[in-house]
Every structure is written in C-alpha cells, then in structure tokens.
Amino acid sequence: MDRAAGRSYTRFVDRVLFPERAGARVAANERLGSDVRTLADVTGTLDIVQSRVREGAPAAGRTLKEVRFPAGTLVVSDDNGERIARPETTLEPDKQYVVAVEPDVVDEVLNLLR
C-alpha cells in the first residue's frame, strides 16, 4: 500500500477485527463453562478473565495477601466488580473476580481459584 492509500486507510479504519480470534474466545468460554469467562484480549497475549472461586479451592476464603499467585497475575476487581481488589480483599467461594493473567500462568492461577 502506498503512503497516500495508507493515510486514507487509517483515516477511515479504527480497528481490524479477526473473526477467528473472536471464535476462539467463544469456544474457550463454552469449554470452560460459567465458572471462567475470557473477557478481552487486551494487548499481545495478556488475558483478562472473570473467574468464580469454588468452595474448597486453595484460594477460597483467603485474602489476596495470603494467596501466592504466580508472577504475571493481577486480581483486578472484587466480587461485585465495583472496587479495585486490595491485599485485604478476601476471595469468597462462589463469587467472581476479574483477573489479568499472562498465558504461561493461566493454568496455575485457575487451579488456585477452582
């Protein structure tokens, strides 16, 4: 594409969507069920997920300060999604939390929550 065409293109196009990526998100959400939902593909490979803490999970009933999440994990919001999670936030069973996670630690994080 020449420069003039490139400038026109960026003037009229906000973003490019890849249906295969959206399809993969839908498939992942269906496979994981209602306990874990992938919300967004933010940048690169970082994922934002909403996960329900299961009764008896290693993190259930513990504060964020007490749980040893792997590097590459950030619990973003409390159970109702209205407050930023803090070290004293308790991960209550049957409540959902929004978590930012790097792909190489997703399984480890989900194992702590489920």
pLDDT digits (tens, 9 = 90+) for 41-56: 445 677 888 888 999 9
- 12 belongs to a structural domain: no
What CATH number corresponds to the domain at position 87?
3.30.70.1450
Say which DSSP state 24 is in.
H
Predicted confidence band of residue 16 (pLDDT cuts 50, 70, 90): very low
Query: Looking at the domain assignment, is residue 48 inside a domain?
Result: yes
Percent of the chain past pLDDT 70, that is, above it, reads 61
Q: What pLDDT score does 42 carry?
A: 46
Q: What share of the chain in percent tops pLDDT 90?
A: 39
Instruction: Say if residues 92 and 102 touch (Cβ distance below 8 Å).
Output: no
Name the residue range of residue 95's domain: 34-113
Strand order in the sheet with 36-41: 36-41, 47-52, 96-101, 73-77
- 0.75 exceeded by the pTM? no
Domain count, the chain: 1
Within-domain flag for 16: no
Residue 101 lies in a domain: yes
The pLDDT score that the predictor gives to residue 112 is 96
Residue 107 lies in a domain: yes
